[in-house]
Amino acid sequence: MRVLIAADMEGISGVVHWDHVQPGHFEYARFRELMTEEVNAAIDGALDGGATSVVVTDGHRDGRNILVEKLHAPARLNSGSPAPLSMVEGVQNADRVFFIGYHARANTPDAILCHTWTDQVRGVWLNDREVGEIGLNAAVCGSFGARVALITGDRAAVQEAIDLLGPIESVVVKSANGRMSAECLPVEENRAAIRHAAAHAMVRQVSPLIIGTPLRLRVELTRPDQIDRALRLPGSKRSGGVVIEWTGNDVVSVYYAFRAIAGLAGS
Ligand SMILES: [Zn+2]
């Protein structure tokens, strides 16, 4: 049983502000360490549950947050950016996927640092189902037959994952009462809970997320000039002042198209 641990940072214990996840800010060093240890808890749990290999993919910003020298063996680390499959690079060779430190999609109330890829993306739909990073990444996982079996993050992120994927293993590490305000649970307890949940996630019955094709992607941006730029993507079309559409026959192509649109939109 091969495990991919796809890690982000906004849903790590204690994170409530962009400063916490911003390289260069003096507080960032603390939180990258917390991120590394939360991933370690998931590695240990995966091994407890019988994992034969564990790969970790660092999915926050440029993928240079996890401290490789502190990462528990035998896990390997996908670090740096851009990787072909970005936040879920490595899923090509995984059976189960754990989302660690994830956050809710753009415009979710009471969700720490909710967003979808960049702050310019207001909404994303796959065949009319609204998704955020959880849904986009889970769809890529599903297209390779890999099952997302664990989510950790704030209460809103966990709820978003369960609404989409069904009752997977989950650990709520904080409960937000705003976009930048939360009640944070004890870090040590969160790590113990993540290890426990990761072991359970190795055996729990879960299904891969399968999205029908052709797959219609819709992305709502913030300003019309961002759509003007994003329309350079071949095959895209405007469907409203700040909405762009692109249709593809496989999930990975749609994932590439989404990242191209987000990139072209700029800031
Ligand atoms: Zn992030």
Q: Residues 145-158: pLDDT tens digits?
A: 999 999 999 999 99
CA 9 / ligand 1 centre spacing (Å): 5
- Exposed/middle/buried for residue 175 (C-beta within 10 Å: 0-12, 13-18, 19+): middle
- Residues with CB in 5 Å of ion ligand 1: 8-10, 60
Catalytic residue, candidates 25, 103, 115, 196:
115
25 is catalytic: no
pLDDT digit string, tens, across residues 197-251:
999 999 999 999 999 999 999 999 999 999 999 999 999 999 989 999 999 999 9
Q: Please list, residue by residue across 148-167, b when 16 or more beta carbons sit within 10 angstroms of its beta carbon and e when fewer do.
A: bbbbbbbbbbbbbbeebbee
Q: Is the pLDDT of residue 267 over 90?
A: no
Contact predicate 124/154, CB 8 Å: no
- Report pLDDT for 199: 98
pLDDT in tens, 33-92: 999 999 999 999 999 999 999 999 999 999 999 999 999 999 999 999 999 999 999 999
How many Å lie between the centroid of ligand 1 and the Cα of residue 79?
14
CB 259 within 8 A of CB 86: yes
